[in-house]
Structure 1
């Protein structure tokens, strides 16, 4: 059994010992990655595609909001090596 010591400043500094509970097994196994199915969305057009991937679990409203935001700011993304002059394409 594990013990935990707590110092409670509101009880004149008395030390109170409590039994600590074991961590749930989900936490003991470590962090698990959340893997959502993805949906491809093209922010460009047929001649100049700009594919992105969003979660397929978004509601229709959330998807519309995110796609509108990403479309509005699509010029801040580097879509090709030509748009990244500091990188060596080799």
Structure 2
């Protein structure tokens, strides 16, 4: 099952984001979308990270889509840089 298959066909709630953060499959899930006009608790921009990758996802009319994926290696700063790259891609896709 892919990351997208595990997400509901709508923006996430704060509780769902918290649930993703407690998942064994992910190391971290972060809301990166500005919420103006999205409604309280509607998360439409998301970063997901594991040991191996970071993905930036956005929710649009047709559902969730991955806008950026950064593979991670053994470098100390790779996760931070990967998250920054994916966050920029999410914000650009939502603008």
The structure with the greater share of residues assigned to strand is: 2
Q: Same fold (TM over 0.5)?
A: no
TM-score, scaled relative to structure 2 = 0.30
Q: TM-score, normalised by structure 1?
A: 0.32
Largest Rg, 1 or 2: 1
Larger RCO, structure (CA 8 Å, separation 6 or more): 2
